[in-house]
Amino acid sequence: MISLLIGKKGSGKTKKLIEKVNAALASSGGNVVVIEKGMKLTYDIPHKARLVDSDEYDITGAPALFGFISGICAGNYDVTDIFVDSTLKIVTPATDDFDLERFIGDLEKLGKVSGANIVLSVSLSSEEIPESCAKYIQE
């Protein structure tokens, strides 16, 4: 399952993401992974979750992020939830032609194969989200 947490900078997306991570940790029988750009969430995410800094692994661009998430799922069958904070900051440095629809479509296929729930924090307003992606938006 794919979910989007959307809103402009300062709208509380990261706070919602942290709440969802805590809920996932409470209900998950497996592993919870949080991918972020920089180590901003070190003290906000419980140590039970695996916190990964995308900068540490030189993840820039949508293909690199998708490959990294795929590798996490392939390497550990116990991953139940994957959270990505600041998705656009991770995917857009490599290219300005980021295709959110395609990226979500690829992640949806991966989620079906792996059984992992994938939550993306995206700094866009609801008007900026493609119509086909609106069904993934979580309040």
- Tokens representing 27? 């209900």
| pLDDT averaged per 10 residues, the chain (length 139) | 91 91 93 93 90 93 94 93 93 70 93 95 89 87
The domain spans of the chain are 2-136
User: Angle at Cα 59 formed by Cα 53 and Cα 63, nearest 5°?
Assistant: 135
- Tokens representing 110? 């991966």
Our measurement of the distance from residue 8's CA atom to the centroid of its chain's CA atoms, rounded to an integer in Å, reads 16
User: According to the model, what pLDDT value does residue 116 have?
Assistant: 95
DSSP character at residue 86: S
User: According to the model, what pLDDT value does residue 97 have?
Assistant: 65
Among residues 68, 74, 62, the alpha carbon closest in space to that of 34 is found at 68
- CATH class of the domain at 2-136: alpha beta
